[in-house]
Amino acid sequence: MKASSARVVLTGASGGIGQPVAQALLKAGAAVMLVGRSAAGLAAQASELSQLTGVKSPRIDFRVADLSRPEDLASLSVLASAWGCNVLVHNAGLASFGRLQSLDARDIQAVVQTNLIAPMLLTQALLPHLLAQPTAQVICVGSVLGRLGLPGFSAYSASKFGLRGFAEALRRELQETPVKVQYLGPRSTRTDFNNEAVAAYNQATGTAMDSPQTVAVELLALLESEAAERFVGFPESLAVRLNGLAPTWLDAGFKRNSRALPAAATTDHPPVITPLSSPI
């Protein structure tokens, strides 16, 4: 799909790559509905984007939604359908880094809820509308770590492996329909999404980081190419393919990554396990 024909619902619009992605889409001719939790923040972002791109309403819109709340997912799907959405970009996400024994159980659940469950449920809610369009696309913004498990990212990788599996299965399920399902796998990106501990880990392991603008360009290219998957950066784009062919071949190569992790620490409180279906 050409960007000029796209009406994009962008979740996580106020996150690290949200602004550059929205800006790239608008400059390419798309209409964009920004989705986030703060009405004031979204209004300010929409105004800034209008100034940066010269694009005015109604090509820029915004809606407030907490994607952990089923009622917000339902209302967002209704609003997105009425707005004429034909591209859904799952960009909202939560980070997780550290040795597994150091992670808080509630944080693990929140990561899975935001990175995997919410995109599945929002896609499900919007699917009847998308199927009624002449052509439509669902773009899951995942990570290289959705196909390449790294020490220190067990919870995050699990959520992104799940998201990639969801995209792959749904792509095959819908291959005879007007809806295309795609997966974008950026590598580490220079945003506040990655904290100081991740930055130190990346430096110790020689891991490259891209700018948010690089990821925005890659997402726009994926949209217009309609390719099934796109992984960002080298050698990561090669590593994900080798890992798919023979995962255990790469195990020894990540010993340095494991050694670079912060020391194990116990959590501040005992694990609290809550149902994933409840708001987190």
pLDDT tens track for 127-178: 999 999 999 999 999 998 898 888 899 999 999 999 999 999 999 999 999 9
Cβ neighbors of 156 (< 8 A, separation 6 or more) are: 95, 96, 97, 111, 115, 143, 145
Q: What is the DSSP letter of 263?
A: P
Residue 187 binned pLDDT confidence (cut-offs 50, 70, 90) = confident
Query: In whole angstroms, what is the distance from residue 165 CA to residue 185 CA?
Result: 13
In a domain, 39, yes or no: yes
Percent of the chain with pLDDT over 70: 89
CATH number at residue 210: 3.40.50.720
In a domain, 243, yes or no: yes
Domain enclosing residue 67, as ranges: 3-259
Q: What is the pLDDT of residues 24-63, one digit of tens each?
A: 999 999 999 999 999 999 999 999 999 999 888 889 999 9
Query: In whole angstroms, what is the distance from residue 269 CA to residue 197 CA?
Result: 22
In a domain, 74, yes or no: yes
In a domain, 176, yes or no: yes
In a domain, 130, yes or no: yes
In a domain, 275, yes or no: no
Task: State how many domains the chain has.
Answer: 1
Query: Is residue 120 scored above 80 in pLDDT?
Result: yes
In a domain, 141, yes or no: yes
In a domain, 268, yes or no: no
- Tokens (6 digits) for 101: 């024994």
Query: Is residue 82 scored above 90 in pLDDT?
Result: yes
pTM for the structure as a whole: 0.85
